[in-house]
Amino acid sequence: MDLSNRNIGYGITGSFCTFAKTRKEIQRLTEMGAHVIPIFSYQTQNCDTRFGTAKEFMEEVCDITGNPGIRTLQEAEPIGPKGYLDVMVIAPCTGNSAAKLANAITDTPVLMAAKAHMRNGKPLVIAISTNDALGASFKNIGMLMNTKHIYFVPFAQDNYEKKPNSMVAKMELLPETISAALEGKQLQPVVTGIKKAPDRSVWGGFYIIREWYYAFFCAS
């Protein structure tokens, strides 16, 4: 896995609870020799939360990458005609951003960058992080997964007892996913964390949904 000298656009949307992992993966990518260009959503730029302030987080990311980042629609749009990214990542990608991306809405710097980048037929990697992945966001995730040039960081239910609809990407698999995407491949398995169903009465519904999903969205 060689990502040295690769130009990676790194879109960050407002899943604030995953920002610590996001920062760690950006650090890893830069240590692997990649040129990381951060792209900040408006929520990332403006929302202070219990996980830290927007200003501190953005400063840390910019210090790691040595790049001031993309913060406006006007700065994001030239990604298309200039074509300088090898791959773009949205990590974390919220359910809101996934819904907009699936429906061609480009009202944030991250979404504009994704649209501009994909016009060049290059890979877009999504690291989903949403509490309703198996609820209202399920259809949007399916649409994106069935879209050419879009690849997903493998993801799993993060707390099936208290948040049964929630799924979060395995951020530690981001470099491997990027490497596979650059070869036109989806890193597998894309849905992880379920090696054996402990109780079919509890998990049966998930298996039915999963089988329906693959039959409906992924049939060749």
Q: Does residue 19 fall inside a structural domain?
A: yes
Helix (H, G, I), strand (E, B) or coil at 186: coil
Q: Does residue 52 fall inside a structural domain?
A: yes
What is the pTM assigned to this prediction?
Answer: 0.86
Q: Does residue 208 fall inside a structural domain?
A: no
Q: What is the CATH number of the domain that holds 62?
A: 3.40.50.1950
Q: Does residue 96 fall inside a structural domain?
A: yes
Give percent of the chain above pLDDT 90. 81
**Residue 153 domain boundaries:** 7-193
Our count of domains for the chain comes to 1
Q: Does residue 213 fall inside a structural domain?
A: no
- Rounded Cα distance between 209 and 133, Å, is 12
pLDDT of residue 25: 96
Q: Give per-residue pLDDT as tens, 63-114.
A: 999 999 999 999 999 999 999 999 999 999 999 999 999 999 999 999 999 9
Cα-Cα-Cα-Cα dihedral sign, residues 141, 22, 107, 117 = negative
pLDDT of residue 217: 58
Q: Does residue 204 fall inside a structural domain?
A: no
Q: Does residue 201 fall inside a structural domain?
A: no
